[in-house]
A = this chain, B = another copy of it.
Amino acid sequence: MTDTTHTGTGTRTGAAQDRVRPLLRTRQVREFTDQPIAPADVDALADVARWSGSSSNEQPWRFIVIRDAGILRRLAETCQPQTRPLATATAAIAIVLPDEKERAVSRAYDEGRAAERVLVAASMLDLGGGVSWIISDARAAVREILGIPADRFVRTIIALGHPTEGARRPKSAPGQARLPREQVVFEERWPA
């Protein structure tokens, strides 16, 4: 995708943008081919998850790496349409968190950090990842399928696999998928 954004001074930031390209091109993938992910790639993704940063390095999470097609398909049925990517995923990583109401915001922040690392890592490995956000009503079903203890829960399952050709294509015209820079990025202070 070509990003036509200009900098504040009107010049392009080509070299720097090239270096962070994996982050600019990472997008959600929701449909996968039946080609399995190489075991080494799954391991690398699990390690990226494990090495994510968390508040005070508390590492509140546990990760379940799922490759069993039967389990993936059962998970896909728990929470449509959010879990649709799991219908074709060849692997997935579920993020298991302690169920602590009083720390819900901080835990969600750390959860987002870990999920994002896995998505970026999948992109770096020429794979795709898509976050399935499990709504409250579906969490009991997911807990049952994965055998999660009562004091923990799963909200994020990252579907993983080789993207289909269609899923690789951007859904928006170049530069249209995000608000224009001048509406989102301000300098020094909130604009007067």
Contacts and interface: CB of A to CB of B under 8 A. Distances in A.
A188 B47 contact: no
26 contacts: A7-B39, A13-B40, A17-B44, A23-B51, A23-B117, A24-B47, A50-B178, A50-B181, A51-B178, A59-B179, A59-B184, A61-B184, A63-B184, A65-B185, A66-B188, A67-B187, A71-B188, A71-B189, A108-B108, A108-B112, A111-B112, A112-B112, A112-B116, A117-B120, A146-B189, A146-B190
A46 interface: yes
A170 B189 CA distance: 34
A23 B71 CA distance: 28
For the complex of A and B, 5 pairs with smallest distance between CB atoms: A112-B112, A16-B44, A109-B112, A13-B40, A113-B116
Contact of A109 (B62, B111, B120): B111
A175 to B, nearest CB: 10
A24 B53 contact: no
**How many copies of the chain does the oligomer comprise?**
2
A64 B146 contact: no
Nearest to A152: B190
Given A16-B44, A68-B188, A112-B112, 15 more contacts: A7-B40, A13-B41, A13-B43, A15-B40, A16-B43, A16-B125, A17-B47, A23-B117, A51-B178, A53-B119, A59-B179, A62-B185, A63-B185, A64-B189, A109-B112
